[in-house]
Structure 1
Amino acid sequence: MKMQIPLLDLKRQYRQIQDEVKEVVGEVLKSGQYILGPNVEALEEEVARYCGVDYAVGVASGTDALRLALLSLGIGKGDEVITTPFTFIATAQAITQVGATPVFVDIEEDTFNIDVGKIEEAITSRTRAILPVHLFGHSVDMKGILEVARKYDLFVIEDAAQAFGTECNIDREGSSLWKKAGSMGDVGCFSFFPTKNLGGFGDGGMVVTNNEEIAKKVRLLRVHGGSSRSYEYEMFGYNSRLDEIQAALLR
Structure 2
Amino acid sequence: MKVPLLDLQPQTEFFREQIIKEITEVVDSTRYILGPKVAKLEQEIAEYSGAAAAIGVSSGTDALVASLMALELQPGDQVLTTPYTFFATMGSIIRVGAVPVFADVDARTLNLDPARAAEILASDAAGERKIKAIMPVHLFGQCADMSALMVLACQYDIPVIEDAAQAIGAEYPFIGSAESAEFENGGELVWKKAGSMGFAGCFSFFPSKNLGCMGDGGMITTCDADFAETLRCYRNHGAKPKYYHTKTKH
Scaled by the length of structure 2, the TM-score of the pair is 0.91
- Distance in 2 of aligned mates of 1:196 and 1:145: 25
Contact 1:225 1:234 in 2 (8 A): yes
Task: Quote the RMSD (CA, aligned, Å).
Answer: 1.3
Q: Report the Cα distance in structure 1 between the residues aligned to 2:243 and 2:113, rounded to whole angstroms.
A: 46
* Cα distance in 1 between the residues matched to 2:72 and 2:173: 29
Secondary structure, in 3 states, of the residue corresponding to 2:56? Answer: strand
Quick one: distance in 2 between partners of 1:174 and 1:45? 29
Q: 1:201 corresponds to which residue?
A: 214
Q: How does 1:97-112 map onto structure 2 within 5 Å?
A: 97-112=95-110
**SS of corresponding position for 2:137:** coil
Partner of 2:182: none
1:161 is aligned, of 154, 159, 165, to: 165
**Match for 2:193 among 152, 156, 180?**
180
**How many Å apart are 1:58 and its aligned residue?**
0.2
Deviation at 1:12, TM superposition (A): 2.0
Is 1:213 the counterpart of 2:226? The answer is: yes
Distance in 1 (alpha carbons) for counterparts of 2:118 and 2:208: 34
Counterpart of 1:127 (choices 131, 143, 154) is 131
- Please state if 1:230 is matched with 2:242: yes
The 3-state SS of whatever aligns with 1:33 is coil
Q: What's 2:174 paired with? A: 170
Displacement of 1:109: 1.2
Q: Give the one of 19, 22, 41 matched to 2:20.
A: 22
**Counterparts of 2:81 and 2:143, CA distance in 1:** 14
Normalising by the residue count of structure 1, what TM-score does the alignment of the two structures yield? Answer: 0.90
Q: CA deviation at 1:175?
A: 2.5
Q: Secondary structure at the match of 1:5?
A: coil
Higher relative contact order, chain-length normalized (CA < 8 Å, sep 6+): 1
Q: Is the 8 A contact 2:56 2:218 kept in 1?
A: yes
| Correspondent of 2:57 among 56, 59, 69 | 59
2:69/2:249 contact within 8 Å kept: no
Tell me how far 1:213 sits from its aligned partner: 1.1
Give the counterpart letter for 2:75 in structure 1: K
Retained in 2: the 8 A contact 1:223–1:237? no
Alpha-carbon distance, 1:174 to partner: 4.7
**Residue 134 of structure 2 contacts residue 161 of structure 2 at CA under 8 Å; is this kept in 1?**
yes
Q: Which runs of 5+ in 2 are unaligned?
A: 177-185
CA distance in 1, matches of 2:213, 2:192: 24
Per the alignment, do residues 201 and 237 of structure 1 end up closer, same or farther by CA in structure 2, a change over 3 Å counting? farther
* CA deviation after TM superposition for structure 1 residue 4, in Å: 1.4
Is residue 2:140 matched to residue 1:136? yes
Alpha-carbon distance in structure 1 between the residues aligned to 2:131 and 2:187: 30
Tell me the number of residue pairs that the alignment of Structure 1 and Structure 2 aligns: 235
Residue number in structure 1 paired with 2:181: none
Q: State the Cα distance separating 1:230 from its structure 2 match.
A: 3.2
Q: Does residue 151 in structure 1 map to residue 149 in structure 2? A: no
Distance change in 2, residues 1:16/1:74 (3 Å): same
Q: Which runs of 4+ in 1 moved over 4 A?
A: none
- Residues 132-179 of structure 1, C-alpha deviations (whole Å, 9 max, x = no match): 000000010000000011111111000000000001111234522111
- With over 3 angstroms needed to count, the CA separation of the structure-2 counterparts of 1:237 and 1:13, relative to structure 1, is farther
Give the drift of 1:232.
Answer: 1.4
Q: Contact 1:220/1:237 (CA < 8 Å) preserved in 2?
A: no
Percent identity, please.
47
Cα separation, 2, equivalents of 1:40 and 1:64: 16
